[in-house]
Chains A and B, each alone.
Chain A
């Protein structure tokens, strides 16, 4: 059931209890976890934090902790599957689920006792009504539906009444079959597309606000959670803009004290500001040139993998009057005169070159003289730390802890390490995209585009992780759409496969919806993958919380693909 008053029905319930936090491995979940931890520290609520990366992890963690805890808080996991059936908990375990995955499983919505959903009842949830899916069972016991029963009923005296009874029974069965067909249809429509809802970090920030315990740190984490959804393409642009407006209200509420000239805050205090900033990843921590070359938007608009594209880039820079030497320097060492009007100058020139949306609404934080970060910088840095493939840090829980730490203001060195990793990751993505397009690795399979990264590809280890792979998919699709002349191909979704574990011989497969201006980001690959795997009995592992990312045995790849093609055409 949906929780209406989050303070009364969630926070006050767990106030004097010990809670287990099971947190998924994405940035929004990390931010939500940080906010909730800060609230728990305020009120001395004892908790245990366990990172989980998939359904198997979740089940194991639950089994280990179910004896000790009664209350479980699941962040960004658990809403889109029948949780009670999967975990088989005792009757007194209570689950609080704050998850952005939609659609929410109907059993979770209509369970009144054990599952509490910390989700807003938005209009776009579209949960089918109770009567359409669930039905009281009295009729079923009655007509257990076997004709043989009717046949074995006794003697002639009752025959006339029997006919009436038989007719009524047939009528009931027909009605029930109709109802079940309608139910299947409704459920199919409901569960067909997977998409994402409001950020979990924003939900918990709202809880903090209702408790009037919100701080600037929590606000910043909520902003990072929202930006993560935008960068990894989980929500539509409209929703992003609406949510940014909500966050902006909070930001101005926290900032109003600064405006007084007499009582200005010390430079070390944290200041969050609304920025209408450039869509160039990490440009303030890199050089402008590198950032333009490695950001998805600019590199696909210019088509920087071609010679023509490189020429256009130089024209662009010349048009703005920026000398190459300046632009290739680190951003912080660029001339002040150039930095002053940079955004407006870039916007003007990009309009001429066909990039109308070079600027995007976002937020930045500023504390101390040197520390200035945009929300997107933080997301890239933390994501790079979370999925780091360095030898010493290959333990997933270890990476989770590192990434969680990097979100605190006191751990700036970790954040800088994250930024370095993120730069390498963006470079790797760009090079992979360039090589895929230049060597025509993207094949049109009919209803979708398909690309397979071979084992020897440089940096292919980076792409064995879900977040990095989805980012690569998104960039690749965008670049492909810009580079192909085939009108039909521009509207196709993309499936990408990359080797995941060489020893076990598995690949990770991810599918993303087609690229379009008004895309509603609804992904049907979850169900499609399931059906294809069933029909070909391929050995797949649907372990990830996003159903559109699965693991598959390399040998089964071709038959799985064929099944998908037949399914989707």
Chain B
């Protein structure tokens, strides 16, 4: 059947519905393009024959092949576009450096597109706040509180914040700090968020 391969590619994407990016299906794409080429050539031949010999019984098969071509085109563009949307979401989730296994699944052109998207997002963020810049990828949901209470789990030594103040992180000391300063350390396991 025509367009089977294209459907398969769509189904593959549909299976991984929670935003994961499967490997770029180069093979499938090539097969679909080959199928489209074959269909196009057959159509060309038939159209020439129909025009020159006036054979109107070829017209339905020409129409069928044309529909298949359009369908293949639609499936492939949908496949490519959906992948781009997923890659865009990755920027918001992971930040500007993607983990290696995700990058492995992207084609060279997708990597290039990602680079350009990063650049345009960065220049947009820089232009916010009257030239000061605002990182809108943080705090996508409004946080419950600006400051959180954290407890230090291990001796980390001195920790410097943007405005120059230094905090000594000693084991079992508790601190009350702005949320964004602590997030990285919480992820590293040095601090523990205390909810009481």
- Which residues of A approach B to under 8 Å, CB–CB? 18, 37, 40-41, 44-51, 64-65, 67-68, 395, 397-398, 400-401, 405, 408, 410-411
Q: Which residues of B contact A46 (CB under 8 A)?
A: 147, 175-178
For A400, give the chain B residue with the smallest CB separation. B172
Q: A48-B173, A49-B174, A395-B172 are in contact. Are A405 and B196 (CB under 8 A)?
A: yes
Report the Cα distance A400→B146, complex, angstroms.
26
Stretch at the interface among B46-54, B69-77, B90-98, B161-169: B161-169
Task: Indicate whether B170 reaches chain A with its CB closer than 8 angstroms.
Answer: yes
Report the Cα distance A469→B149, complex, angstroms.
33
Which of B147, B171, B177 has the most chain A CB atoms closer than 10 A to its own CB? B147
Task: Indicate whether B83 reaches chain A with its CB closer than 8 angstroms.
Answer: no
Is the beta-carbon distance between B166 and A68 smaller than 8 angstroms?
yes
Which of B146, B172, B177 lies in contact with A397, CB distance below 8 A?
B172
For A46, give the chain B residue with the smallest CB separation. B176
Q: Which residues of B contact A398 (CB under 8 A)?
A: 172
Which of B146, B151, B176, B196 lies in contact with A408, CB distance below 8 A?
B196
**Other A-B pairs beyond A44-B147, A51-B172, 6, CB < 8 Å:** A40-B176, A44-B146, A46-B176, A48-B175, A64-B170, A400-B172
For B151, give the chain A residue with the smallest CB separation. A401
Q: Which residues of A contact B170 (CB under 8 A)?
A: 50, 64
Give chain B's interface secondary structure class: strand
Q: Which residues of A contact B175 (CB under 8 A)?
A: 46-49
For B159, give the chain A residue with the smallest CB separation. A68
Is the beta-carbon distance between B172 and A410 smaller than 8 angstroms?
no
Report the Cα distance A40→B173, complex, angstroms.
16
Report the Cα distance A41→B145, complex, angstroms.
10
22 contacts between A and B (CB under 8 A): A18-B165, A37-B149, A37-B176, A40-B176, A41-B147, A41-B176, A44-B147, A46-B147, A46-B178, A47-B175, A47-B176, A49-B173, A49-B174, A49-B175, A50-B170, A51-B172, A67-B166, A68-B165, A395-B172, A401-B151, A401-B172, A410-B195
Within 8 A of A (CB), among B146-196: 146-147, 149, 151, 165-168, 170-178, 195-196
For A409, give the chain B residue with the smallest CB separation. B196
Distance in angstroms from A52 CB to nearest chain B CB is: 11
Which of B151, B166, B175 has the most chain A CB atoms closer than 10 A to its own CB? B175
Report how many residues on chain B are interfacial, defined by Cβ distance under 8 Å.
19
Distance in angstroms from A367 CB to nearest chain B CB is: 15
Is the beta-carbon distance between B174 and A401 smaller than 8 angstroms?
yes
Distance in angstroms from B172 CB to nearest chain A CB is: 4
Is the beta-carbon distance between A397 and B171 smaller than 8 angstroms?
yes
Which of A44, A48, A400 lies in contact with B167, CB distance below 8 A?
A48
Report the Cα distance A159→B20, complex, angstroms.
107
Report the Cα distance A18→B175, complex, angstroms.
10
For A396, give the chain B residue with the smallest CB separation. B172
Is the beta-carbon distance between A410 and B176 smaller than 8 angstroms?
no
For A50, give the chain B residue with the smallest CB separation. B173
Report the Cα distance A411→B195, complex, angstroms.
10
Q: Which residues of A contact B167 (CB under 8 A)?
A: 48, 68
Q: A18-B165, A68-B166, A68-B168 are in contact. Are A410 and B196 (CB under 8 A)?
A: yes
Report the Cα distance A410→B196, complex, angstroms.
6
Q: Which residues of B contact A51 (CB under 8 A)?
A: 172
Q: Which residues of A contact B151 (CB under 8 A)?
A: 401
Report the Cα distance A400→B173, complex, angstroms.
10
Q: Which residues of B contact A395 (CB under 8 A)?
A: 172
Report the Cα distance A411→B165, complex, angstroms.
33
1/0 per position for B8-27, CB-CB distance to A under 8 A? 00000000000000000000
Report the Cα distance A41→B196, complex, angstroms.
12
Q: Which residues of A contact B149 (CB under 8 A)?
A: 37, 41
Is the beta-carbon distance between B146 and A65 smaller than 8 angstroms?
no
Distance in angstroms from B2 CB to nearest chain A CB is: 64
Report the Cα distance A401→B153, complex, angstroms.
11
Q: Which residues of B contact A47 (CB under 8 A)?
A: 175-176
Distance in angstroms from B60 CB to nearest chain A CB is: 74
Report the Cα distance A314→B129, complex, angstroms.
80
Distance in angstroms from B160 CB to nearest chain A CB is: 10
Q: A41-B149, A401-B151 are in contact. Are A411 and B172 (CB under 8 A)?
A: no
Q: A401-B151, A405-B196, A411-B196 are in contact. Are A48 and B174 (CB under 8 A)?
A: yes
Report the Cα distance A447→B167, complex, angstroms.
51
Q: Which residues of B contact A397 (CB under 8 A)?
A: 171-173
Which of A48, A68, A408 has the most chain B CB atoms closer than 10 A to its own CB? A48
Q: Which residues of A contact B168 (CB under 8 A)?
A: 48, 64-65, 68
Report the Cα distance A401→B192, complex, angstroms.
13
Report the Cα distance A51→B152, complex, angstroms.
13
Q: Which residues of B contact A18 (CB under 8 A)?
A: 165
Which of A45, A67, A405 lies in contact with B176, CB distance below 8 A?
A45
For A395, give the chain B residue with the smallest CB separation. B172
Report the Cα distance A398→B175, complex, angstroms.
15
Distance in angstroms from B181 CB to nearest chain A CB is: 10
Report the Cα distance A85→B182, complex, angstroms.
36
Lowest 3 A-B CB distances belong to which pairs? A397-B172, A49-B174, A408-B196
Report the Cα distance A50→B175, complex, angstroms.
9
Report the Cα distance A405→B171, complex, angstroms.
16
Distance in angstroms from A375 CB to nearest chain B CB is: 20
